[in-house]
Amino acid sequence: MPKIAFLVTEDWYFVSHRLPLGIAARSAGYDVVVITRARMHTALIESHGLRVLPFEMNRRGLNPFVLIREILQVLRIYLSERPDIVHHVALRPVLVGKSPPDPQAYKENFPHLQEWTFFSRAIKYFINAEAICLSPV
């Protein structure tokens, strides 16, 4: 049975925005794993036949040591679960989930495109801001 993994920061967000997608994947024959901060909505997710793997993701800050720790934890999860498809929902999961150095950790990656748009705009903004700061007056 093919496996799809959703990497989401919060279980409530998965229920609010991705639960129908997870249920549809389950109905299509996928083993669905939701990797998220397990709080109040875990039982609801599991009641639909989806598996929840608790993962504490820091949603604030870009401390490189915390990021490295999270990247290694996600890599361990991906290597043990061996999903065929991963779906990273939101900017932090895209950063953490796309970074594992092992290309065999998963076959396909579908980031949430809205976050990629935001991320690319943010990079352009900071590059332009830096260029303005470095420009001679």
Answering whether pTM is above 0.85, one says: no
- Give the pLDDT band of residue 134 (cuts 50, 70, 90): very low
Asked if residues 70 and 43 have their Cβ atoms less than 8 Å apart, the reply is: no
130 in helix, strand or coil? helix
φ/ψ of residue 114, rounded to 5: -65, -40
Could you give the domains of the chain?
A: 3-134 (3.40.50.2000)
Q: Is the model's pLDDT at 56 over the cut of 50?
A: yes
